[in-house]
Structure 1
Amino acid sequence: MLYLQQSSCGKGWRFAASDHRGWILEGFPENQEQARLLQSSGIIPRHVVVLYAADTVLIERNSGKRLDPLTEEVYHTTFDWPSDVRIQQRLVEPDLSEEEMSKQLLEYHRNFPGVFQIYQKILRSINADQPCVDVLSQALTYVQTQHRSAAPFTPRMLFCGPPGSGKSLQAALIAQKYGIVNICCGQLLKEAVADKTKLGELVKPYIDSGYPVPDNIVMKILEKRLNAPDCMTKGWVLRGFPRDIEQGERLQKACIIPNRVFFFNLPYESIIERLSQRRIDPVTGERYHMTLRPAPTPKIQARLKQNPKDKEESIEKRVDFYHRNAKELEEFYEDAFYVNADQDPYPIFEFIESCIIKPLP
């Protein structure tokens, strides 16, 4: 979930976040460019809540704020005054003046339409000029709802392509717009291990040793997930499986038959350029690209590490494995669409979307 708000709208709620429980982000993005940066990084919220109130109300709220310099707790002269006299005596006014507050609001109003355009399908506006309990109740009600799929049919889609071809990003964008379930086979196996299921216990030795998980185990996990109620009702987009014709035949035998298949095509030189220059900051976990998104400071640049999978010899093996099996898979899925992945993400997304709304073959 993502919170967007005008200053002093009262967005100070905090929720625990994890891979399984979800996350909440507030204060970012502040403009359309930042929103697109989130999308290009694969960070796709399911719900966006916009808190709004009249500028006069927000300026008045800000003028009543007081800060405890010892604990950094924020209080308010009208709505949240501490009962402890010692706390009252040490409170100080924030540095933000009424004039600076007005400038921030003006900047917000200037940038918000661009952000709204990105998230309008999943965005809910809530009036923050009401009791905090009511605002929280409306926000919780919205984030607990499930979006209906906007697709013209129940999508069952496969994304096939070499590493670095952008399958993950496009799957995330399609899943967000059409409300379908985004499934990565590799991630599904890791989740089974993390959840310590019986199948996960069978998968763990293979993942730990770096060997491929046997197809029969993968199929059991995939069948269970793709036959879950959310996949059956909303549809799904799957990547990472099948990787050869035998796996495709296993899917078909299990009656898991996609109605849209996309093959992403990307030249080897572009794959190398995209993957071999990726780096990760071991301190913050932030990901960078030596050309497209370099580290902001020399200090960060000096400590960046490369994932062994992104070394050229490893990339070459993975690409070679894909191309050895791609021809047979393309013949197996004879009605597939072919995507030129060597271009910006948004033209690719528009092409995929145009194929989704075409009649079934």
Structure 2
Amino acid sequence: MRSQQKTNRCRKKNGFHQKPLRIPPDFGTYAERHGLFEMYKRLIESLLINKPQDPLDHLTEVLKRENDDVPSVIIHGPPAAGKTSIARMVCAKLRTAYISQDTLLADDVSPLAAKAKEYIAKNEKVPTELWVDMVKTRLQLFDCIKKGWVMDGFPQSREQALALQEVGISPKHYVVLDAPDSVLIERQMGKRIDPETGGVYHTTFDYPSNAEVERRLVEPPEGCSEESMVDRLVVYHRHTQGLQSCYDKLYKAVNADQPTADVFSQVMTFLSSRQRTLAPHNPRIVLLGPTGSGKSVQAALLASKYNIVSVSSGQLVHEAIANESKIGEAIKPYVDREMLVPDNLILKILDERLSQLDCATRGWVLRGFPPTREQAENLQNEGHEPNRVFFLDVPNDSVYERLTLRSLDAVTGDRYHALYNPPRTTDIKDRSAQQPTDAEDAIRQRLSNYYAFAEEIADFYEDAQHINADQDPHTVFECVESMLVNPLPKRAQVE
């Protein structure tokens, strides 16, 4: 016994067990905000692909010109699927460079383009290596580096796709416009081209309203006959599976047999998505919503499935008081008088809890806090920046129905609901009673407090996701879970 006491005194003297291990929260936040893991991965890939003589100089140049946020898109599909129209619309929307085989060949100053034209003039196939060199040279220009690029209809085969990957050219999104062959043949037979602007029109579905444009229209160089279209479709279908296998994780098929506006909308929705990262990810989740929206239930489900720490500011306050800590003694007078605990005390106990080893290594879900913009700013200034914020939206009528019909068994502590989970026996019903906090006046006051600051807190958390919580808890959990495991869409690409 004395030996154990002596050991404890020595450990206390040397700083052991005085406080839980505190992990600075800004370490992980900084790395995630600036994409350090992805940056390191891209630099290593660049070294392995380019094999420079001086790796350090090469990395310095890559970092100087790197801009990984720009779009890099390939839009593919069978003939007459509308690739060119959608690609040009995407370029106009995202303000990126437009690249196609025609634009590559139209470069009058490029010796590579001149060489490719020689093959075409001889009715010979342009070598894959030459196409790849032309694409690589084009992507090294300033507009592609700074603005990004959209490639229309290239590569056309698995061989060309692999050759692009070998030199480090790979898109972030690969879109395939698909439609039945019968629809494509009908489209091609009515297809017309404006030779001055490159605009694509159709004699039935999209005829120009301008008479001057109408006079300029000509048939496409590949012809409009059904026989030539069938031959082109056969070639396309021969290569489509091989191409898809090269871009399987980036692939999205869009039905092109619908209005152009709908096709474009679906393409843009896909382009606003992000690829999954291989970087270590610790969830830092904030659940907000009115009283009775199910924040505690969702926090418990998340903590159970993903082994993250469920944190409640109210529970931490009661624990601090029960432990008779210094901060608990400072908080106790406010709780005894039923007064609001000052923000600085709440933030202090939250900072201590969220900086502990389990929260730093496993992640955390914080429910019901922060309720105001000021508290959200203070929480972020302490380094605890959430990477997911969910608003659980519930109509007030549903809140009253959920809470006013609840009762508590004074013997067992079990909760019951008159509609969804009524007491199983008469004895339980007789001894169960409504809690004062579930009275209508108390609920009305809590709802008023929440909505007084709801708009400003929503403005602060711009990337927050709103979820309809007026449904089964497990259905709500599926919505939360889908947004948790998948990257959030890019707001900049969706208006």
Q: Same fold (TM over 0.5)?
A: yes
Query: Percent identity among equivalent residues?
Result: 51
1:325 to 2:453 alignment: yes
- Counterpart selection for 1:349 from 477, 482, 487: 477
Task: Kindly report which structure 2 residues correspond to 1:205-216, keeping only aligned pairs within 5 A, or say none.
Answer: 205-216=333-344
- For the pair 1:261 / 2:394, whether they are aligned, the reply is no
How many angstroms apart in 2 are the aligned matches of 1:295 and 1:354?
34
What's the secondary structure of 1:159's corresponding residue? strand
Higher alpha-carbon Rg: 2
Aligned pairs for 1:1-361 (under 5 A) are 153-359=281-487
Query: 1:167·1:239 contact (CA, 8 Å) conserved in 2?
Result: yes
Mapped partners of 1:319, 1:359: distance in 2:
32
Structure 2 length-normalised TM: 0.42
Q: Is the 8 A contact 2:285 2:389 kept in 1?
A: yes
Separation (CA, whole Å) in 2 of partners of 1:312 and 1:225: 34
Shift of 1:304: 1.6
Coordinate RMSD, CA, aligned: 1.4
Given residue 356 of structure 1, which amino acid in structure 2 is its aligned partner?
L
- Paired residues of 2:295 and 2:368 also in contact (CA < 8 A): no
Cα deviation, residue 152, structure 1: 6.3
Give the conservation status (yes or no) of the 8 Å contact 1:276–1:312: yes
Q: 2:411 and 2:402 mapped to 1: Cα distance?
A: 23
Q: Quote how far apart the aligned CAs of 1:240 are.
A: 2.3
SS in 2 for 1:280: strand
Q: What code does the residue aligned with 1:282 have?
A: A
Paired positions, count: 211
SS of match in other structure, 1:343: coil
Equivalence for 1:16: none
Amino acid at match of 1:344: D
What is the CA–CA distance in structure 1 between the aligned matches of 2:425 and 2:478, rounded to whole Å? Answer: 35
Task: Name the counterpart of 1:33.
Answer: none
Cα distance, 1:301 vs structure 2:
1.4
| Separation in structure 2 between the aligned mates of residue 340 and residue 219 of structure 1, nearest angstrom | 29
In 2, Cα distance between equivalents of 1:179 and 1:298? 39
User: What is the DSSP-based 3-state SS (H/G/I as helix, E as strand, rest coil) of the residue aligned with 2:451?
Assistant: helix
Q: Distance in 2 between matches of 1:283 and 1:167?
A: 26
SS of corresponding position for 1:192: helix
Give the CA deviation at 1:209: 1.8
Shift of 1:327: 0.4
Q: Say if 1:155 and 1:234, in contact at 8 Å, map to a contact too.
A: yes
Gaps of 5+ in 2: 1-278, 491-495
Letter in 2 for 1:337: Q
Structure 2 distance, partners of 1:276, 1:196, is 34
Q: State the shift of 1:333 in Å.
A: 0.1
1:328 & 1:320 partners in 2: Cα distance? 14
1:294-322 Cα deviation digits (max 9, x unpaired): 11222221222111110001000001110
